[in-house]
Amino acid sequence: MGVRRDRQVLLDKRGEEILPRAAAPFLDFCHLLRRHGFSVAPEQAAGFMRAVALLGPRSMEDIRQAALAMLAPQPERSEAFEALLFAFFHGEVSATIDGSPDDEETVVKDEGADEEMALDEPRQEEGGELSSAVEQFGVRAFADDEDTLGRFRRALGAALPVRRSFRSVRTHARGKPDLRRSLAQIVRADGDIPEPLHRRRKAVQRPLLLLIDVSGSMKQHTGEYLKLAHALVQGADRAEVFTFGTRLTRVTSALRIRDRERALEMAAAHVDDWDGGTRIGPSLQAFLAVPRFSAFARGASIILLSDALERGDHREMEAAVRRLSQRAFRLSLATPLAGDPRFRPETAALKAVVPVLDDLVDGSSLDELTRFTLSLACPAPAAQTVWRRTS
């Protein structure tokens, strides 16, 4: 893409206009935010312009509300965001694009990326303007705060689901007779045995698998999700953690570091697609296509932390979730959208996967997630039953 500065019209590689002239200031504002350290993904810029078009705009307040909703500034930087918004749209600062490398869109290595980077026509959806299939590389830093997950980590050992192992352990009662060792003891005691020996199958924790969506529409929650993942890896016997946005990344090794700050820094360095696009279906299919990875899902409690706003064909996501369900002991989707009392699984993707989910729960806060994780061993009605009652 290029920008012809004399007319302020966005052009594609063939020199054809792909944005109306009036949209240029809103795109310039997104570039201004990037230069001041705000993370603005391409799909967020597109969503911002669509929101402005939807609202009119009838006033400056409409533009402000569209910016807050679509560009999602961090709460701690809200004052800086408001100041830039006021200064830019009241003519106090300029955001003229100079074509410097920092202002260019991130290069996408996938084939057919040029077609994906073009702005699509608005889709008829209830939400999800921040969700996209466009890949964008990014980095993430985590603030150092108090460890509120210590109690949760210590409670995991007794709370997670277990299964009976094929290995057995000695027991004094409530087991099957251990004939081999009992006979050996009889021989050593010249025919006498004080009491029969028993064995029972050992109970072991089921594997726990976390699949964390790190796309742009989830950027307000991924920091907390990684802290939760670190506590799970530290407290559970067998836990695996993967992130996905436009690509799949295994971060379990980084999260095995006991110091949480160092572990999160290592995990952040491993993941390339922070706050980028969303390809849920292809990412889950990639997970299932690698035998070593798909083996982690066998008999596991799987928690998918995502808003499930798939921008591509939802049938690929549905097929992947069905295959995960066939392998899993329990498959759960925790979405931050469920924190809103008005939430209903009405998108095509959610309607397709709810019948195969065991749980569809609130993933908007650490308190809700830790409470749910500690209840995984308790039986609960299927997600379809629960959400049929609330519809």
Q: For residue range 42-88, what is the model confidence (pLDDT) as tens digits?
A: 778 888 888 888 888 888 888 988 888 888 787 778 888 888 888 88
Whether residue 125 is contained in a domain is answered as no
- Is residue 297 within 8 A of residue 324, CB to CB? The reply is yes
Question: Does residue 101 carry a pLDDT above 60?
Answer: no
Whether residue 34 is contained in a domain is answered as yes
Pairing type for strands 301-305 and 208-213 reads: parallel
pLDDT value at position 194?
67
User: Do 180 and 234 lie in a common domain?
Assistant: no
Whether residue 287 is contained in a domain is answered as yes
User: Do 237 and 386 lie in a common domain?
Assistant: yes
Domains of the chain: total: 3
Burial of 210 (0-12, 13-18, 19+ CB in 10 A): buried
Q: Which residue has the higher pLDDT, 128 or 201?
A: 201
Task: Give backbone dihedrals phi and psi of 209, rounded to 5 degrees, phi first.
Answer: -125, 125
User: Do 216 and 99 lie in a common domain?
Assistant: no
Q: Which pLDDT band, with edges at 50, 70 and 90, does 131 fall under?
A: very low
- Residues 126-152 have a mean pLDDT of 55
User: Do 180 and 305 lie in a common domain?
Assistant: no
Question: Does residue 110 carry a pLDDT above 70?
Answer: no
Whether residue 132 is contained in a domain is answered as no
User: Do 18 and 47 lie in a common domain?
Assistant: yes
- Is residue 192 within 8 A of residue 184, CB to CB? The reply is no
User: Do 197 and 245 lie in a common domain?
Assistant: no
Question: Does residue 108 carry a pLDDT above 50?
Answer: no
156: nearest Cα among 251, 252, 213, 230: 230
Whether residue 111 is contained in a domain is answered as yes
Q: Is the peptide bond before 57 cis (omega within 30 degrees of 0)?
A: yes
User: Do 284 and 192 lie in a common domain?
Assistant: no
Pairing type for strands 248-250 and 239-244 reads: antiparallel
Whether residue 137 is contained in a domain is answered as no
Q: Which residue has the higher pLDDT, 368 or 194?
A: 368
Phi-psi bin for 329: left (phi > 0), alpha (psi -120 to 50), beta?
A: alpha
Whether residue 18 is contained in a domain is answered as yes
Q: Which pLDDT band, with edges at 50, 70 and 90, does 33 fall under?
A: confident
pLDDT value at position 76?
76
pLDDT value at position 109?
27
User: Do 188 and 255 lie in a common domain?
Assistant: no
Q: Which residue has the higher pLDDT, 258 or 93?
A: 258
User: Do 242 and 378 lie in a common domain?
Assistant: yes
Full domain range(s) for residue 175: 165-204
User: Do 195 and 294 lie in a common domain?
Assistant: no
Residue 72's identity, in one-letter code, is A
* DSSP letter (8 states) at residue 349: H
Whether residue 50 is contained in a domain is answered as yes
User: Do 293 and 275 lie in a common domain?
Assistant: yes
- Residues 300-316 have a mean pLDDT of 89
User: Do 329 and 211 lie in a common domain?
Assistant: yes
* Residue 293's CATH number: 3.40.50.410
- pTM above 0.75? no
